[in-house]
Amino acid sequence: MKLTKVLLAATPLLALAAFPALGQDPAPVEVPEAVAEAVAAIPNPGNTTWMITATVLVLFMTVPGLALFYGGLVRSKNMLSVLMQVLMIAAVVSIIWVIYGYSFSFGGSESPYWGGTAKLFLAGVTADSISATFSDEVIPEYIFICFQMSFAMITPALIVGAFAERMKFGAVMLFSVLWVTFVYFPIAHMVWDANGLLFAWGALDFAGGTVVHINAGIAGLVGCIMVGKRIGLGKDMMAPNSMVLAMVGAAMLWVGWFGFNAGSNLEANGGTTLAVINTLVATAAAIVAWAIIESFTRGKASMLGAISGLVAGLVAVTPAAGLVGPMGAIVLGIVASILCYFFVAVVKPAVGYDDSLDVFGIHGIGGIVGAIGTGVLVSESLGGIGYAEGVTMAGQVWTQILAVLVTIVWCGVVSIVLYKIVDLIIGLRVTPEVEREGLDLAAHGEAAYHQ
């Protein structure tokens, strides 16, 4: 309303400036400072429309994208349990986000660790509220809230792939609520808020390498170890129930990821297009690299390997999307595929942890590769946008490593505590009888398929 009143009051002045008296040269008209500020504070319709689109694309990544990707990879007796976990996490976290998550992350506190309580229940936010972008533009605060909400929704949903097929539904939900509260919101504040610890250090994370992927990967690794291995692992057939659905879900992830990465530019301009092309080529390079590796190591390139490479490339380019050049993005995709394949095919069997759907091997390792690689490839000489004034490649890489370490330690330690709390309250794991029967019937009274 205030903005509207200022613009209405300014209308006569603006009209005089635009339409001078007939036969006279237009005289300069001084526009009051308040009017100039008001005009500058009007959200750009194009940017606003793009951010709405990006938000919907990220939601599409989660439901149905991630749900179908994970659902296709588990056994048929557990497919609905995974779909239900992803769907319910998305719904519950959405509610938590508007109650206190947005405030804890972006509430305006000067604390380096959390955003404070000033915006609990979205206090003070209206349809006229605005949020700054990376330039002089603004967007409505509501769409910024929704965009960041979509990130908070998908991150704990990623974790469930690590302990799929054996964790109680109630335990998954309670852990997710606690985890976003004590891990995700603080890390999001530290990385993306102007007062955040890692932001102040100069750490670069364009779209969530630390906040989303390393966070989810570490929590998944801790969870699969604490919950324990699936019954029959290494003895029973545990093949995916539908590679077709897994491929469809992976394709949806790739499409939705353009909202994830390009949307993180917060406006529609050249930087947005840089994120778009990088999301394309990094993913393509990672798919090809994984297929080539499998061709040499097992004699055949598999669909499971191709979609694993697809996700690895998307993860690795996430922190770098709007910061490196297309050639750098291709390098990130290739390196991520190589290292993620090594952790999935070599490290996991050697160590013996049961990361069911390779959350740590792909999201954790891919996120680390992307976060540290960004510090190198952002160099202008390598096609990136360049370093901040006075920052060297060595200095930026060291900052990236510190940001990765802070994320790993914070997430790892807090996740251990939260899993313990959930285990004491509910118990983490289903009974052996339920696990053999399948979680679909035992937890939800339904079956994914009927003959």
Q: Please, are residues 303 and 351 in contact by the beta-carbon 8 Å criterion?
A: no
Q: What is the pLDDT of residues 236-253, one digit of tens each?
A: 889 999 999 999 999 999
165 neighbors 75 (Cβ within 8 angstroms): yes
Summarised one tens digit per residue, pLDDT across range 257-315 is: 999 999 999 999 999 999 999 999 999 999 999 999 999 999 999 999 999 999 999 99
Q: Mean pLDDT, to the nearest integer, of 88-116?
A: 97
Q: Tell me 20's DSSP state.
A: P
Cα-Cα-Cα-Cα dihedral of 405, 411, 417, 422, to 10°?
A: -160
- Give the pTM: 0.90
Structure tokens at 119: 């915006």
What confidence tens digit (pLDDT) does each residue in 123-149 have?
Answer: 999 999 999 998 889 999 999 999 999
How many Å is the Cα radius of gyration of the chain? 24
* Domains assigned to the chain: 2-39 (no CATH), 50-444 (1.10.3430.10)
Runs of H (alpha helix) within 302-357: 303-317, 326-342, 348-351
Task: Please give the pLDDT value at position 37.
Answer: 55
Model confidence over 15-69: pLDDT tens digits?
A: 333 334 444 555 555 656 655 455 558 999 999 999 999 999 999 999 999 999 9
| Mean pLDDT computed over every residue of the chain | 92
